[in-house]
Homo-oligomer: A and B are copies of this chain.
Amino acid sequence: MTDASAPRPKPRRARGLMDRRGPALALERELIANIAKVYEDWGFEPLETPAFEYAEALGKFLPDQDRPNEGVFAFEDDEEWVALRYDLTAPLARFVAENFDALPKPYRRWAAGPVWRNEKPGPGRYREFWQCDADTVGSASPAADAEMIAMASAALGAAIGDAGRPFLKVSDRRLLDGLLETLSFTEGRSPEQSRLIVLRAIDKLDRLGDDGVRDLLMAGRKDASGDFTPGAGLVLREAEDVIDFVRGTEVDSDDAVLNFLANKLAKSKRGTEGVEALGQLQQCAKALGLGPKDWRIDTSIVRGLEYYTGAVFEASIDDTSKYGSVGGGGRYDDLVARFRGEQVPATGFSIGVSRLATVLEARGSDAVEIGPVVVLVMDQARVADALAMADELRRAGVRAEAYLGAAGMKAQLKYADKRASPIAVIQGGDELAKGVVTLKDLKLGAKIASGLGEDREAYAKAREQVQVEVPRDQIVAAVQQMLAR
């Protein structure tokens, strides 16, 4: 099959993608399992939709619309455009609309899986990443939003254990809608466009500060590289109003925040709706055991996706922006209506699994990797004996494998080290003749070797403890004993 003269392809994974293996992957899988356990306990059932959907069904809700295919990976199939899912929410909306009559209402589901975004890759920014979502479809109640933040708090807590405390920030899209009703826009844009520019400007408050955001809200802003971003076209007083609106929620008491917002938005029906919904959410959050160490109202929370219509959430670990957001979500009452016409209110939360794993890795872990016991093969003609020994160990519940390469003893021990193996099992010709095997404690061996330097006598003595000879028929008990110490 292989033609030696044929040009060889270069082995490289596609741009912006990631391979994950061993303990790092195991950590991510454990995170997902712990999050899923919480979602299931809260009454959510699993759902798995396909990796791609008709592009029309996914809709166009990503923030980066200047990217190719508006941020998605799309291709033609049987003369219809399909696209890899960019989140787990848009496919859920399609699924609910397609199976509406068969589903319990509200329909509560969780899902975990990769999503794909056709974005410019960068450090820590990949084009495939895992999300773990929960959504309640068919409930307009702020209780459902409160449940989302309480469950997100519980799920993140279960996932990270002692490594930190989850913190949620909550806002409502209707607040800003209410504020915008009072503002003029001189640039002749549609209200939707202006809303988007204002949202994006607020989203940059942390990074650009009041001055930068004020520029973006007014005529526009030129950054250090000379690039110009057009502004929302507000006059100074209006821009200050928007900034005050966001800064005004930076106080400790949620009651004070709600009063501030109620006064500010008293003239707007939509804004007042948002404030009232937040008030009910606050009551329900309290009933679910959440306090000021767990969450607060913060109008600087924007969330990039355009389908949100009400409450929006953002989660971090501890109340700092050090590691950035590890999840977010919100209410999207119109997403199912795209298909059905009638409104189907919904709310959901998405945890960024890869991001959460990065936070945990940055905080370090004490876990020591323990690989399989490795049975060495000293004579290729006797590989079946090694297979049988490994099998005996496995049947007794011990992770074990026979070495299946062609290398000598030294390389086999190096292999065992690379596999984080705790014990090597060795049966050379002498041992075979005596009916014994040698067990080598690799973890202890490494410890002694690193502390003993060139002292031959001490080395010889330590070796006695590290290597033991046991009868062939007592191999299982001896390995279990060595593993236990």
Q: Which residue of B47, B104, B337 contacts A19 across the interface (Cβ within 8 Å)?
A: B47
Once bound together, how far apart are the Cα atoms of A341 and B402, in whole Å?
Answer: 28
Q: How far is the CA of A283 from the CA of B150 in the complex (A)?
A: 58
Q: Are A14 and B75 in contact (CB under 8 A)?
A: no
A333-351 contact mask (Cβ, 8 Å, vs B): 1 or 0: 0100111110100000000
Nearest chain B CB to A242 CB, angstrom units? 21
* Interface membership of A20, Cβ < 8 A: yes
A interface size (C-beta, 8 A): 111
A21 contacts chain B at the CB level, 8 A cutoff: yes
Residue A418 lies at the interface, judged by CB distance under 8 Å to chain B: yes
Give chain A's interface residues, CB within 8 Å of chain B: 1-2, 4, 8-15, 17-22, 25-26, 29, 40-43, 45-54, 56-57, 59, 73-75, 77-78, 80, 82, 84, 93-95, 97-99, 104-106, 108-109, 114, 116, 118, 128, 136, 138-141, 143-144, 146-147, 150, 192, 283-284, 286-289, 306-307, 309, 334, 337-341, 343, 371-372, 374, 380, 383-385, 387-388, 390-391, 394, 399-407, 415, 418-419
Closest 9 CB pairs of A and B: A43-B401, A11-B97, A75-B75, A43-B372, A17-B50, A287-B384, A104-B418, A139-B404, A11-B98
In the assembled complex, 30 residue pairs joining A and B whose CB atoms fall closer than 8 Å, in A order, are A1-B192, A2-B338, A8-B339, A11-B95, A12-B98, A13-B49, A14-B77, A14-B82, A20-B48, A21-B48, A22-B45, A26-B46, A41-B372, A41-B400, A43-B374, A45-B419, A50-B128, A51-B84, A51-B128, A73-B77, A104-B419, A106-B404, A108-B401, A141-B380, A141-B406, A143-B402, A144-B404, A283-B384, A287-B384, A288-B391
